[in-house]
Each structure stands twice: as C-alpha cells, then as structure tokens.
A = this chain, B = another copy of it.
Amino acid sequence: MSEIEFPNGAPKVTALIQGKDTKGIIATITNWIFDHSGNIVYLDQHTDPVEDMFFMRIRWDMDGFEVPRENLDEEFSKVCWRLGMAHRLFFSDRKKTVAIMVSKQGHCLLDLLYRWRSQQLAVEIPCIISNHEDLQDMAGYYNIPFHHLPVTKETKREQEDQVLEILKKKNVDTVVLARYMQILTPKFVAAYRNSIINIHHSFLPAFIGADPYLQAFKRGVKIIGATSHYVTEELDQGPIIYQDVVSVTHRDNVQTLKRKGEDIEKVVLARAVAMHTENRVLIHNGKTVVFGG
C-alpha cells in the first residue's frame, strides 16, 4: 500500500472486531479510546444470537490521539486479547491495493476504472491481469500496467503462479475478478483468503456455474440478478457481499438478458468492492456482516 494523504483532513483509524459475544465489549473499547483522547466518529455493531457472536466496526480520529500510530496495533491488541476478540486496524491514509483480473468482457472493468479515476473508489490499482488481450487498450487508456497471461487446462497452475508473483511484487491485498472466466485453484484462493471478490452473473444461489443467463432463459424467470461474493474453494458458494436484480419479461432472449444483467453486474461489483475497501465487511461462518458507510 502506498502512503497518501487522505482528502478529509487528519487520518482516521478503523477497527474491525469480531469474536464470541460477552459483556462489556463496547464499553471497554470505547472507554479505552476515550481515555486516550480519541474522538469516535463511527460505531456500528451487530450481535448474532444464533452464533453467539459479536461484530463491531469503530472509527476514530488519530488527530490528538495519545497512542502513537506505530504502537497502536500493539496496544489495541492487548485490549482485544483481554476480550477474546479478533481485530484488524486500517488507517484512512493507506488505500487498499487492488489487482483486477478480467477475460474478454469489459463492462465491469470500465466501470471500476471510471469510479477509481473519479475518486469514488479510494484504492490503488497497480495492475490488470487477463487471460486474453481484448482489454489491453482499456488498461492503456487509464495508464495501468496490463499483464496478458493466457491459460489452458494444462497451464493453469503455472499461470496462477505467474499471477501470484505479480500480485506479490505489487503488494496487492485484494483481487477483484471483474468477469474473469476461470475457476481459481484452491492454492490461489488460499493465498488470498477472504480477499478475492467475484461477480457472478446470477441471483445466487440460483443458477450456479456456467451460462446463468441461458439457465435463466430456459427456466423462464421474471427477474434476473447479480451477486458479488468472496471466492472460496467451492464454486459460487462464498460469502455474499451484495446482490441486485432487474425485471425481465417473456420478450427477453438470452442476449437481452445478458445486456440487462450487465447493467446490474457492474454496479453490484463496484458496490461490493467499495464495501470491502472501505473496511465495512466482516466474515463469519460463510456469511458477511456489512456495516453502513
């Protein structure tokens, strides 16, 4: 991640916290922040009584905060440790570093790049990786390095190793599959656990797998959808981040379903990427908690 100045004044820190529910978590954490002169600007929490789990997103000003930034994680860890809570900290002046993987279709990529350039997505995009050459021009227009790494059934592991090497070199922390039409190996998924975001062109769990628009056409549904989710080893089974739908009629054919679907695919993916990169998503037991912005 590159160190940049955040537009809205002094940096803020966001903590994501999760663990078994217990008494006094909110009081302990907010009190610790208050005792060190921190001003909380956001707090949302969720208690899951079925799983007996507690989830929190809390954000405070670093301006005037009495724990120096370089010690913050260590000090905050002590607080969380005593509560039995897992946590992660994110500073507002360090954007996430996102690699985008694509195949031939460019509608999701174009949408992400436009949002990035118009500063709606506060991320770094150091590379675009594709198994085809079709979108090289688009990457060029936005001055982002484009890596063409073709893949066949036989070369998949080898190609993925090349991809992983690029991701490592560029310090990538999040991978966005913007209609990348390849199934990733468990090894790749494990390397970026809970950090690979996919867009599936159906309203999951309906129409898992290939050709969801063809499946939707054959079934005669009256609404189609798009689903953005984290990638896990099981195809299209990862935690869902965001979904949206659009109405269709008997007049629609596979091609018009595809077009209508693309309009929501790109929005659903962009929203999910924003939710993730704004550190608003927690994952537990195959599901997400998504806090408001």
Q: Which residues of B contact A39 (CB under 8 A)?
A: 23-24
Contacts of A181 in B (CB 8 A): none
A223 within 8 Å of B (CB atoms): yes
Chain B contacts of A26 at CB under 8 A?
26, 30, 34, 40, 43
8 Å CB contact of A50 from B31, B243, B253, B289: B253
Nearest CB in chain B: distance from A8 CB, A? 9
A221 touches B250 (CB 8 A): no
Interface membership of chain A positions 236-253, coded 1 if the CB is closer than 8 angstroms to chain B and 0 otherwise: 000111111101011101
Q: In the bound complex, what is the Cα–Cα distance between A44 and B239 (angstroms)?
A: 24
Chain B residues contacting A203 (CB-CB under 8 Å) are: 203, 206, 223, 225
Copy number in this complex? 4
In the bound assembly, the distance between CA atoms of A220 and B288 in angstroms comes to 7
Q: What are the interface flags for A28-59 relative to B under an 8 Å C-beta threshold, 1 for contact and 0 otherwise?
A: 10110111010111111111111000000000
- Against B, the Cβ 8 Å flags (1 = close, 0 = not) of A95-110 are 0000000000011001
Are B220's CB and A251's CB within 8 A?
no
Is A222 part of the contact surface with B, judged by Cβ < 8 Å?
yes
Contacts of A47 in B (CB 8 A): 41-42
Q: Mark A251-293, 1 if CB is under 8 A from B, else 0.
A: 1010010010001000100100000000000000011111011
Q: Is A162 an interface residue (CB 8 A)?
A: no
Q: Which residues of B contact A245 (CB under 8 A)?
A: 223, 245
Complex interface bits, A1-40 against B, C-beta within 8 A gives 1, otherwise 0: 0000000000000000000000111111011011101011
Q: Please pick, from B27, B44, B46, B250, the residue contacting A30 in the complex, using a CB distance under 8 A.
A: B27
Is the Cβ of A222 less than 8 Å from the Cβ of B205?
no
Point out the residues of chain B lying under 8 angstroms from A267, CB to CB: 263, 267
Supposing A23-B39, A223-B244 touch, asked if A120 and B30 sit within 8 A by C-beta, the answer is: no
> A219 in the interface, Cβ–Cβ < 8 Å?
yes
**B259 touching A289 by the CB < 8 A rule?**
no
Contact A220 B107 (CB under 8 A): no
A–B pairs, 30, beta carbons within 8 Å: A23-B34, A26-B26, A26-B30, A27-B31, A27-B34, A44-B44, A46-B251, A48-B250, A49-B253, A50-B253, A106-B118, A203-B206, A203-B225, A205-B207, A205-B221, A219-B240, A220-B240, A220-B286, A220-B287, A221-B240, A222-B243, A222-B290, A223-B225, A223-B243, A245-B245, A249-B292, A250-B288, A251-B292, A263-B270, A267-B267
